[in-house]
Amino acid sequence: MKLIATILLFCCSAIVPVLGQTANPEKYQYVFTVAQDGSGNFTKIQDAIRAMRGYPLAPITLYIRNGVYNEKIELPANNTDVTLIGESVDSTIITYDDYSGKGSLTTFTSYTAKISGNRFTAENITFVNAAGPVGQALALYVDADQALFKNCRFMGNQDTIFNGGETARQFFWNCYIEGTTDFIFGPATALYSHCIIKAKSSSYITAASTTKGKPFGLVFTRCRLLADPGVKKLFLGRPWRAYAKTVFIHCEMPAAIAPEGWHNWSNPDNEKTVYYGEYGSQGPGATSSKRVSWAQHIGAAAAKRYTPEQIFAACNPELPAATTWYKNIQPAAFKWPVK
């Protein structure tokens, strides 16, 4: 009899916490504010993230008031459905100065912000790696699926943004990105649309590591590419892995773009497996007559495939297409006229 009572007590005590995790969603907090002057719930962003319920029962919004937040932040994978909204993109700044080789840090731990929680959104925030030109130093490491960045800035040097997650889908809308070498790189399917992308050295903009068999890798549509005055030869991309895929559609390209456009990373075998293509771009650097022979000249019919719906649906066929997560964008927020 005592044994039965003990078993019942154990079972009941095990059930209660489980029920408590799924019932009464109203008792949890879903809106937070961070303000350095103490007027919000927290003065540090990471403290607010720690206070969030993992796998929340409703979306969570964190408002960040203007200020320079000198902290290294991480949104773990169990912190899903989180939105960070800055007060203004120019004055809501998250910055840190880690870099690969600083102590035991590597490229992938040098980030200022790491975002792993799926269905993440950031808006009106500047992410900075302030380490300077000292090697790999990430402003953003994002391996979340269905991640959306709207009207954000990403500032660094080498390896500014790591688009991680082999089956992740990520959308950068109306953003500003600057860097020196391979400053947009990784294996995710990432769409950059209506963005300004500025190169600060004669080097490489992208270094995709797309996995074999994926239909899309890094995609740039209606973006404006800029180069500092000292930049003389800028490549659109080089393959970090053999099956890299990168395309530029209807982009504006400066004269600094190398006539050959693309680099094989000193490995001719990469030329047989990569997919590098362009269509409909303008500007002095868009001339394709001297592009490398192994680059793709995308035709008008093929260019129509490069829509968010088709790109993201094809990225991960085992997951729902999620045809609405990236549509919460505002065309009026464009930074430059779209032709």
Q: pLDDT tens digit string along 116-157?
A: 999 999 999 999 999 999 999 999 999 999 999 999 999 999
Give CA torsion, residues 290, 293, 295, 296, to 10 deg: 100
Q: Does 245 map to a domain?
A: yes
Q: Does the pLDDT at position 285 exceed 80? A: yes
Q: Does the pLDDT at position 299 exceed 50? A: yes
Q: Does 125 map to a domain?
A: yes
User: What is the rounded CA–CA span in Å between residue 211 and residue 228?
Assistant: 32
Q: Does 265 map to a domain?
A: yes
Q: What is the count of structural domains for the chain?
A: 1
Q: Which domain holds residue 130?
A: 107-332
Q: How many residues does the chain have?
A: 339
Q: Does 99 map to a domain?
A: no
Q: Is 186 exposed, middle or buried (0-12, 13-18, 19+ CB in 10 A)?
A: buried
User: What is the rounded CA–CA span in Å between residue 67 and residue 201?
Assistant: 29
Which of 81, 143, 145, 159 is an active site residue?
A: 159
Question: Does the annotation mark 145 as catalytic?
Answer: no
Question: Does the annotation mark 159 as catalytic?
Answer: yes
Q: Are 207 and 238 in contact (CB under 8 A)?
A: yes
Q: Does 49 map to a domain?
A: no
Q: Are 248 and 267 in contact (CB under 8 A)?
A: no
Q: Does 22 map to a domain?
A: no
307-322 mean pLDDT: 72
User: What is the rounded CA–CA span in Å between residue 155 and residue 170?
Assistant: 18
Place of tokens 């995790």: 21
Nearest Cα to 224, choosing from 103, 339, 88? Answer: 339
* CATH number for the domain harbouring residue 244: 2.160.20.10
Q: Does 247 map to a domain?
A: yes
- Per the prediction, the chain carries an average pLDDT of 89
Which of 145, 182, 228, 269 is an active site residue?
A: 182
Cβ-based neighbours of 208, under 8 Å, separated by 6 or more:
185, 186, 187, 217, 218, 237, 239, 240, 241, 244, 245, 246
Between 139 and 14, name the one with better pLDDT: 139
Write down the pLDDT at residue 235.
98
Q: Are 249 and 220 in contact (CB under 8 A)?
A: yes
Q: What percent of the chain has pLDDT over 90?
A: 81
Q: What percent of the chain has pLDDT over 70?
A: 86
Q: Does 130 map to a domain?
A: yes
298-315 mean pLDDT: 89
Q: pLDDT tens digit string along 67-83?
A: 999 999 999 999 999 99
pLDDT bucket at 323, cuts 50 / 70 / 90: low
Q: pTM here? A: 0.89
